A and B are shown apart, each in its own frame.
Chain A
Amino acid sequence: DGGITQSPKYLFRKEGQNVTLSCEQNLNHDAMYWYRQDPGQGLRLIYYSQIVNDFQKGDIAEGYSVSREKKESFPLTVTSAQKNPTAFYLCASSIDGGGPDSGANVLTFGAGSRLTVL
Chain B
Amino acid sequence: GQSLEQPSEVTAVEGAIVQINCTYQTSGFYGLSWYQQHDGGAPTFLSYNALDGLEETGRFSSFLSRSDSYGYLLLQELQMKDSASYFCAVRGLDNYGQNFVFGPGTRLSVLP
Are A and B physically bound partners? Answer: yes
Contacting pair B31 A42 (CB below 8 A): no
- A43-B43, A90-B43 known; A105 and B102 CB under 8 Å? no
7 contacts across the A-B interface (CB closer than 8 A) = A31-B98, A42-B87, A43-B87, A43-B102, A45-B99, A105-B31, A107-B100
Give, as a whole number of angstroms, the nearest-CB distance from A90 to chain B.
6
Whether a CB of chain A sits under 8 angstroms from the CB of B105 is: yes
- A42-B103, A105-B91, A106-B33 known; A97 and B97 CB under 8 Å? yes
Give, as a whole number of angstroms, the nearest-CB distance from A100 to chain B.
4
Contacting pair A112 B45 (CB below 8 A): no
Contacting pair A104 B91 (CB below 8 A): yes
Whether a CB of chain A sits under 8 angstroms from the CB of B111 is: no
Whether a CB of chain B sits under 8 angstroms from the CB of A74 is: no
Roughly how many angstroms separate A104 CA and B33 CA in the complex, as a whole number?
11
Whether a CB of chain B sits under 8 angstroms from the CB of A96 is: yes
Q: CB within 8 A of B42: which of A31, A97, A98, A112? A: A112
